[in-house]
């Protein structure tokens, strides 16, 4: 057993469950214009005020006519044209046809469209090469959405799959929940911002860039409070400032038991925080609770640990806070290991892997190599997590393992 494999660690499931049972959705509702709604969560059901399409229209460029006419002739007289946006205003009588374009309204009287490739044109006499069935190539009124139908339910997060749907209903504004406001900062005397030269013992602060990227992609309003040194008073001030303004305060570093890890003392005084040792690797030390009216998430300092805990534990919580009732955890499936995965029993590993599909259509996964909790290039090379169960030991090539696809925040 190594130093980290001590008994009594909290399982990932218990940690997540603890978080999720404490948090409830934000209740502030605002009205938003469709153009500004991407990534927001609906605070109302959306019922369609119209049929989509609003009128029967042609799925092809061709001719609209009465299907029964072609049972006794193959030539009809063209009497007009129907364009998208400029309908034919007359009636298509027996023996007649109307030139029609894709999306144009079906003329009164016509019950079928024949595509132009099936015709020969001689002036206004159109000869048809096929015998159609009524309704061929016609998109009926309400084919996509019926007037009054519930199209989207409260709690839906709006993405590229919903935005055009709302636009097709002509809905310009609607009620959404306020985006969660998240303030974050890095802690550590050794940290320098990019653009500065490193002195002895210093490293660049990389965590804030990962935290910001994941939060913004998740649809949060973010407030970056920079780097706070390991100084109790500055830390206290930063925590109090962050918590007056935000729904969630996220820090990285200083939540383990090092001599310069002051966060615990301050939070014990200013908030209600649990300092957990979670049976996950990377990412053992993690703090969760409240400070003022904000939720507090203290991520470990090591860069892979910080990203992983944010991704696995904080994102589901943010989804609940945002009112996103249809949030789905990332997809997991089985894959055949094509390399060995070093692992000791005791914690659930979230190793970084590269999956592919072999010529038999089966998922395979290889390690990205160095799995150190500070080795961030493993995240760049990966396209999935390899989730190795708590009790499992070393995995040999050929064994089946669980892989977890990255969600949209990683892309
Ligand atoms: P800590 O949790 O503060 O003990 O930090 C654990 C490790 O993560 C140490 O090696 C830190 O230097 C490193 N670390 C902490 N914060 C950051 C950061 N923002 N960016 C990069 N590395 C960090
Ligand atoms: Mg530190």
**Helix (H) or strand (E) run with residue 297 in it:** strand 294-299
Sheet containing 62-65: which strands, arranged edge to edge? 112-115, 62-65, 96-100, 75-82, 125-128, 119-122
Is the pLDDT assigned to residue 4 strictly greater than 70? no
- Domain 12-28+179-321 falls in which CATH fold? Molybdenum Cofactor Biosythetic Enzyme; Chain A (3.40.980)
Mean pLDDT over residues 179-189, rounded?
97
Q: Check: CB of residue 308 under 8 Å from CB of residue 280.
A: yes
Domain boundaries, the chain: 12-28+179-321, 37-52+143-177, 57-136, 332-410
CATH dotted code for 57-136: 2.170.190.11
- Ligand 1 touching residue 219 (CB < 6 A): no
Q: Pick from 188, 201, 208 the residue to mutate for probing ligand 1's pocket: most ligand atoms within 8 Å of its CB.
A: 188
269 pLDDT band, cuts 50/70/90, is: confident
Q: For the segment 67-100, what is each residue's pLDDT rounded down to a tens digit? A: 999 999 999 999 999 999 999 999 999 999 999 9
pLDDT at 259: 66
Is the pLDDT assigned to residue 215 strictly greater than 90? yes
Percent of the chain with pLDDT over 70: 98
pLDDT at 1: 37
In 3D space, the residue among 262, 317, 324, 328 whose CA is nearest the CA of residue 294 turns out to be 317
Residue 389, preceding peptide bond in cis (omega within 30° of 0): no
Query: Looking at 46-202, which runs of residues are DSSP E strands?
Result: 46-47, 57-58, 62-65, 75-82, 96-100, 112-115, 119-122, 125-128, 138-139, 150-152, 173-177, 181-187, 191-192
Q: Check: CB of residue 256 under 8 Å from CB of residue 278.
A: no
Distance 229 CA to ligand 2 centre (A): 9
**268 vs 139 pLDDT, higher one:** 139
pLDDT at 149: 98
User: Within a 10 A sphere around the Cβ of 125, how many other Cβ atoms?
Assistant: 12
The Cα–Cα gap between 207 and 201 comes to 17
- Ligand 1 touching residue 309 (CB < 6 A): no
pLDDT at 86: 98
Q: Pick from 203, 206, 226, 299 the residue to mutate for probing ligand 1's pocket: most ligand atoms within 8 Å of its CB.
A: 203
Is the pLDDT assigned to residue 133 strictly greater than 90? yes
Mean pLDDT over residues 132-155, rounded?
98
CATH dotted code for 37-52+143-177: 3.90.105.10
Distance 207 CA to ligand 2 centre (A): 12
The Cα–Cα gap between 247 and 78 comes to 66
- Ligand 1 touching residue 186 (CB < 6 A): yes
Residues 9-48 as b or e (16 or more Cβ within 10 Å = b): bbebeebbeebeeebebbeeeeebebeebebbbbbeebeb
260 pLDDT band, cuts 50/70/90, is: low
The Cα–Cα gap between 343 and 349 comes to 8
**For the CA of 258, the nearest atom of ligand 1:** 4
Its pTM stands at 0.91
- Nearest residue (by CA) to ligand 1, atom 17, is 301
Among all ligands shown, which has an atom nearest to the Cα of 188?
A: 2
- Ligand 1 touching residue 254 (CB < 6 A): yes
Distance 202 CA to ligand 2 centre (A): 12
pLDDT at 268: 84
Distance 82 CA to ligand 1 centre (A): 68
- Ligand 1 touching residue 191 (CB < 6 A): yes
- Domain 332-410 sits in which CATH superfamily? MoeA, C-terminal, domain IV (2.40.340.10)
Among all ligands shown, which has an atom nearest to the Cα of 229?
A: 2
Distance 351 CA to ligand 2 centre (A): 23
Mean pLDDT over residues 25-45, rounded?
97
- Ligand 1 touching residue 353 (CB < 6 A): no
The Cα–Cα gap between 374 and 108 comes to 70
Distance 257 CA to ligand 2 centre (A): 10
The Cα–Cα gap between 397 and 340 comes to 5
Q: For the segment 280-295, what is each residue's pLDDT rounded down to a tens digit? A: 999 999 999 999 999 9
Mean pLDDT over residues 396-409, rounded?
97
Mean pLDDT over residues 131-151, rounded?
97
- Ligand 1 touching residue 82 (CB < 6 A): no
Distance 253 CA to ligand 2 centre (A): 5
pLDDT at 6: 53
Q: What share of the chain is helix, strand, coil (3-state, %, to 5)?
A: 20, 35, 45
Is the pLDDT assigned to residue 384 strictly greater than 60? yes
- Ligand 1 touching residue 263 (CB < 6 A): no
- Nearest residue (by CA) to ligand 1, atom 16, is 301
**For the CA of 254, the nearest atom of ligand 1:** 3
Q: For the segment 343-366, what is each residue's pLDDT rounded down to a tens digit? A: 999 999 999 999 999 999 999 999
Residues in the chain: 411
pLDDT at 7: 63
Is the pLDDT assigned to residue 2 strictly greater than 60? no
Q: Check: CB of residue 166 under 8 Å from CB of residue 232.
A: no
Among all ligands shown, which has an atom nearest to the Cα of 210?
A: 1
Among all ligands shown, which has an atom nearest to the Cα of 283?
A: 1
Is the pLDDT assigned to residue 257 strictly greater than 80? no
Distance 300 CA to ligand 1 centre (A): 7
Is the pLDDT assigned to residue 3 strictly greater than 60? no
Distance 256 CA to ligand 1 centre (A): 11
Provide the mean pLDDT of the chain: 95
Mean pLDDT over residues 216-227, rounded?
97
Is the pLDDT assigned to residue 386 strictly greater than 90? yes
**399 vs 267 pLDDT, higher one:** 399
Is the pLDDT assigned to residue 5 strictly greater than 50? no
Q: Pick from 204, 261, 297, 301 the residue to mutate for probing ligand 1's pocket: most ligand atoms within 8 Å of its CB.
A: 301
- Ligand 1 touching residue 256 (CB < 6 A): yes
Residue 282, preceding peptide bond in cis (omega within 30° of 0): yes
Mean pLDDT over residues 357-379, rounded?
97
The Cα–Cα gap between 63 and 265 comes to 79
């Amino acid at each position: 057993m190594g130093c980290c494999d001590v008994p009594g660690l909290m399982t990932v499931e218990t940690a997540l469950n603890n978080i999720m049972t404490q948090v409830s959705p934000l209740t502030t509702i605002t009205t938003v214009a469709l153009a500004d709604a991407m990534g927001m969560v609906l605070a109302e059901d959306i019922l369609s005020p119209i049929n989509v399409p609003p009128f029967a229209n042609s799925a092809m460029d061709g001719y609209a006519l009465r299907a029964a006419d072609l049972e006794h002739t193959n030539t009809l007289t063209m009497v007009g044209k129907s364009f998208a946006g400029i309908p034919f205003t007359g009636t298509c009588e027996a023996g007649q046809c109307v030139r029609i374009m894709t999306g144009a309204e079906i003329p009164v009287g016509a019950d079928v469209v024949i595509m132009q490739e099936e015709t020969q044109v001689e002036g206004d006499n159109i000869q048809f090469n096929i015998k159609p069935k009524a309704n061929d190539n016609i998109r009926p009124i309400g084919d996509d959405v019926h007037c009054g139908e519930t199209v989207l339910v409260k709690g839906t997060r709006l993405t590229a799959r919903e935005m055009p749907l709302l636009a097709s209903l002509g809905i310009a504004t609607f009620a959404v929940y306020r985006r969660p406001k998240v303030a974050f900062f890095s802690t550590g005397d050794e940290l320098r911002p990019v653009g500065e030269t490193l002195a002895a013992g210093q490293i660049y602060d990389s965590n804030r860039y990962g935290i910001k990227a994941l939060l913004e992609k998740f649809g949060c309003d973010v407030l970056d409070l920079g780097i706070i040194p390991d100084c109790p008073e500055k830390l206290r001030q930063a925590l109090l400032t962050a918590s007056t303004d935000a729904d969630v305060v996220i820090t990285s570093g200083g939540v383990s038991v090092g001599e310069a890890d002051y966060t615990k003392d301050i939070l014990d005084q200013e908030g209600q925080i649990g300092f957990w040792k979670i049976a996950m690797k990377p990412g053992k030390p993690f703090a969760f609770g409240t400070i003022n009216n904000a939720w507090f998430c203290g991520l470990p300092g090591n860069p892979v640990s910080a990203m992983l805990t944010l991704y696995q534990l904080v994102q589901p919580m943010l989804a609940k806070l945002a009112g996103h009732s249809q949030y789905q955890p990332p997809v997991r499936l089985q894959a055949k290991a094509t390399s060995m995965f070093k692992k000791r029993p005791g914690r659930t590993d979230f190793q970084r892997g590269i999956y592919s599909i072999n010529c038999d259509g089966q998922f395979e996964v290889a390690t990205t190599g160095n799995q150190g909790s500070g080795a961030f290039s493993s995240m760049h090379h990966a396209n999935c997590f390899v989730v190795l169960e708590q009790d499992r030991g070393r995995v040999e090539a050929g064994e089946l393992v669980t892989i977890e696809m990255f969600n949209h925040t990683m892309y």
